[in-house]
Amino acid sequence: MDTLVNLCKRRGFVFQSSEIYGGLGGVYDYGPLGVELKNNIKRAWWKAVVQEREDMVGLDAAILMHPQVWVASGHAEGFTDPMVDCKVCKKRWRADFVGDRCPECGGELTEPRQFNLMFRTFIGPVEDEAAQIWLRPETAQGIFVNFLNVLSSARKKLPFGIAQIGKSFRNEITPRNFIFRVREFEQMEIEYFVLPGTDEEWHQRWIEERLQWYVDLGLQRENLRVREHQPDRLYLKSGQVLTGRVKEFGTYYAITQGPETLEVPKEEVERWEPGELAHYARRCVDIEYRFPIGWQELEGIANRTDFDLRQHSQHSGKELLYFDPESNQHVMPYVIEPSAGVDRSFLAFLADAYHEEEVGGQKRVVLRLDKRLAPIKVAVFPLLRNRPELVEMARRIAADLRRYWMTWYDDTAGIGRLYRRQDEIGTPYCITVDVQSLQDHAVTIRDRDSMEQVRVSVDRLVEALTERLGRCDL
């Protein structure tokens, strides 16, 4: 991880926020190369889930929303993590990340308390309760509250989905692991609305679809896995095991499985094992990536049933229903939610692409990023920087290529070093202008991965690069 953090800072992918003031915990800025990679990830996602699909449309909802939204969604009440304070050094920790002692000073910890992760702010000039609002902790709610607007304007039939990319904010108690867990981040979220009864099949399809997206963009399959959120389990004395959502009452447990709730007397139960499946979800999986810090969530894909539309219908008084022409009835759709993090994807693509190898007795660092994701597609160098004719020709070629691709011109070092610099940031092709180029009007194209060089006429350069880079037009 340190190697990646170091590369990110040194080459201008990611900087700590407000670094000259000592930094701001859990907040990062994306530098000149970082913003390109990040934009390319977002474009690739948008292309796959909006542009290339007939059943999807996009949305860009505001970060600030009516405070009732978060009451209806359950965030005002329940978007909390347990926190503990160290009685000695006063440091605050997420209770489920620490043992019974302070990791910093070994001091005694307080009992866990629930801490709401939403950032609060005020709208308008009066800082009183009425004007208090939150920064959104997820983009999803902007989709639910616009359900009717999109339905009536885009005229979609079920099943259809709405996609959105945007910033989210969570006041994480223990932000850590670089851009993996931060307080300001970006999400790429889909709410895919389906007829109840078709939800399980669509859920499975989205799991496969989303997994394949990461693989198509270069993540190695063996570094990805799908992890199921386990439901609660009741182990009965008879040996039977019941799964679902369990609630405890005086003399019995109530276990909810789909639409049914079963009451089980306590004397019949041997033990109750709580799971992590959210109360509103019928099924939820995480796509996990093998990060340098271990297997961790990259994207969550949940079958949220009609929980959100129902909640917003109740709280807003507007019926968020769909008229189904087949059955001639109004139905409340179920929703499948694939929710991915841009920053975590960024880290995964970077980690997966990072390779160190030995070439001619020297270490070569190369980012084998998919060409569509690479921040710079082509770099152009003059072989000799003290020959003005070469410099001029190289600059002219670079200016021409900029019309099509992110192109970098560099003459600040010897050719070997220039190649290494581009390998390290994942640039797929380097173009070199040499003395012979002045006569034969041809240049060499060097391939990042194979390091092979071929000579191409300048007149054919755009064509030759188009062949190699594909259209690259995310």
The pattern of x and - marking residues 80 through 119 that bind ligand ATP according to CB under 6 A reads ----------------------------------------
To ligand ATP, the closest distance from the beta carbon of 39 in angstroms equals 17
For residue 338, the surrounding DSSP H or E stretch is: strand 334-341
Burial 276-292, CB ≥16 within 10 A → b, else e:
ebbebbbbbbbbbbbbb
Contact call for residue 170 and ligand ATP (CB under 6 A) = yes
Q: Which is nearer to ligand ATP, 342 or 379 (CB)?
A: 342
To ligand ATP, the closest distance from the beta carbon of 300 in angstroms equals 3
Determine which residue in the list 85, 299, 306, 434 makes contact with ligand ATP, applying CB under 6 A. Answer: 299
d(CA 165, CA 217): 18
Contact call for residue 214 and ligand ATP (CB under 6 A) = no
Residue pair 233/275 in contact (Cβ under 8 Å)? The answer is yes
For residue 375, the surrounding DSSP H or E stretch is: none
Determine which residue in the list 34, 142, 231, 300 makes contact with ligand ATP, applying CB under 6 A. Answer: 300
Which residue of the chain is nearest ligand ATP when measured via CB?
A: 341
To ligand ATP, the closest distance from the beta carbon of 73 in angstroms equals 12
Provide the 8-state DSSP code for 135.
Answer: B
To ligand ATP, the closest distance from the beta carbon of 469 in angstroms equals 29
- Structural tokens at position 139: 């983009």
To ligand ATP, the closest distance from the beta carbon of 90 in angstroms equals 23
Q: DSSP of 385-421, one letter per residue?
A: TT-HHHHHHHHHHHHHHTTTS-EEE--SS-HHHHHHH
To ligand ATP, the closest distance from the beta carbon of 361 in angstroms equals 40
Q: Which is nearer to ligand ATP, 284 or 394 (CB)?
A: 284
The pattern of x and - marking residues 172 through 201 that bind ligand ATP according to CB under 6 A reads x--------xx--x-x--------------
To ligand ATP, the closest distance from the beta carbon of 345 in angstroms equals 7
Residue pair 349/218 in contact (Cβ under 8 Å)? The answer is yes
To ligand ATP, the closest distance from the beta carbon of 229 in angstroms equals 9
Contact call for residue 444 and ligand ATP (CB under 6 A) = no
Q: Which is nearer to ligand ATP, 349 or 381 (CB)?
A: 349
HEC secondary structure over 49-117: HHHCCCCEEEECCCCECCHHHHHHCCHHHHCEEEEEEECCCCCEEEHHHCCCECCCCCCEECCCEEEEC
The pattern of x and - marking residues 221 through 260 that bind ligand ATP according to CB under 6 A reads ----------------------------------------
Determine which residue in the list 339, 422, 437, 444 makes contact with ligand ATP, applying CB under 6 A. Answer: 339
Q: DSSP of 156-203, one letter per residue?
A: PPSSEEEEEEEEEE---SS-BTTTTB-SEEEEEEEEEEE-TTSHHHHH
- Strands of 113-116's sheet in order across: 92-94, 80-85, 113-116
To ligand ATP, the closest distance from the beta carbon of 261 in angstroms equals 26
Determine which residue in the list 85, 191, 199, 343 makes contact with ligand ATP, applying CB under 6 A. Answer: 343
Nearest C-alpha neighbor of 421 from the set 386, 390, 464, 375? 375
Determine which residue in the list 58, 233, 292, 297 makes contact with ligand ATP, applying CB under 6 A. Answer: 297
Task: Give residue 361's region: left, alpha or beta (phi > 0; psi -120 to 50).
Answer: left
Contact call for residue 341 and ligand ATP (CB under 6 A) = yes
d(CA 149, CA 151): 6
Contact call for residue 338 and ligand ATP (CB under 6 A) = no
To ligand ATP, the closest distance from the beta carbon of 225 in angstroms equals 14
In sequence order, what are the beta bridge partners of 225?
288
Provide the 8-state DSSP code for 306.
Answer: T
d(CA 203, CA 139): 20
Residues near ligand ATP (CB under 6 A): 138, 170, 172, 181-182, 185, 187, 297-300, 339-341, 343-344
